[in-house]
């Protein structure tokens, strides 16, 4: 874990001191801005539901993240085939934003993968995430499910054209349409059976709640 003012050794090993220091504040700032845009959309809709907030937040969490980070070295983006968003790649790490909760007291590691852990994130975890420490043994003669059998070669090719040995970092955040951005964490997880995350290193990033 990092101290209150600086990046952790884990993040320094991944990005180097200068970039890790910049990402520590830029990533939460980007997600905060994405949530603000979604709040603005909810207000403009004049609805008392989150029908406008959710879709705007989902799209902007990818777009604004790249807008904030593209000025740093070794940052590119990939538009996965068939996807509606682009994914930011920072020094070989795919940064995948995931809204995991609507309250701040839930740790990312305790959240259950839901619809916000969408097909794109699941596919990238399958292709480039850490290997699970254990896998369920497939029973003999059991056919693959459609999800297991789906061809991901175009997605793999699109990413591997931009970076060697890509790795996945989940950038989890908690937010809601009333309070805005509440918490940001990032870390590494293996997807097991398509329904469970096995976590490695996880740490919180500082969130500016004064805006």
- pLDDT tens digits for 31-72? 999 999 999 999 899 887 888 999 999 999 999 999 999 999
Q: What are the distances in angstroms from CA 110 to CA 107, 122, 196, 197?
A: 5, 18, 11, 9
CA distance 31 to 33: 5
Encoded tokens for 37? 């845009």
Instruction: Calculate mean pLDDT across residues 9-19.
Output: 97
pTM assigned to the model: 0.89
Range name among 14-28, 45-59, 123-137, 139-153 with the lowest pLDDT average: 139-153
Label residue 202 exposed, middle or buried (CB < 10 Å: 0-12, 13-18, 19+). middle
Q: Measuring CA to CA, which residue among 31, 21, 110 is closest to residue 68?
A: 31
pLDDT-derived band at 4 (thresholds 50, 70, 90) equals low
Question: What is the crossing angle of helices 17-45 and 53-69, to 10°?
Answer: 150
Q: How many CB atoms lie within 10 A of CB 42?
A: 21
């Amino acid at each position: 874990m990092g101290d209150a003012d600086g990046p952790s050794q884990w993040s320094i090993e991944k990005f180097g001191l200068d970039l890790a220091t910049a990402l520590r504040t830029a990533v939460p700032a980007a997600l905060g801005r994405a949530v603000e845009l979604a709040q603005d959309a909810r207000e403009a809709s004049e609805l008392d539901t989150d029908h406008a907030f959710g879709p705007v937040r989902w799209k902007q969490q990818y777009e604004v993240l790249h807008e904030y980070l593209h000025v740093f070295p070794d940052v590119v983006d990939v538009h996965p085939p068939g996807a509606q968003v682009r994914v930011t790649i920072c020094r070989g790490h795919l940064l995948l934003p995931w809204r995991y909760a609507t309250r701040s007291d839930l740790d990312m590691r305790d959240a259950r993968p839901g619809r916000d852990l969408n097909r794109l994130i699941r596919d990238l975890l399958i292709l480039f995430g850490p290997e699970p420490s254990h896998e369920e043994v497939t029973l003999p003669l059991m056919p693959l499910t459609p999800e297991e059998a789906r061809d991901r070669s175009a997605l793999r090719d699109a990413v591997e054209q931009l970076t060697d040995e890509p790795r996945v970092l989940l950038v989890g955040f908690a937010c809601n349409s009333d309070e805005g951005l509440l918490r940001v964490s990032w870390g590494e997880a293996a997807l097991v059976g398509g329904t469970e995350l096995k976590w490695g290193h996880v740490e919180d990033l500082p969130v500016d709640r004064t805006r």
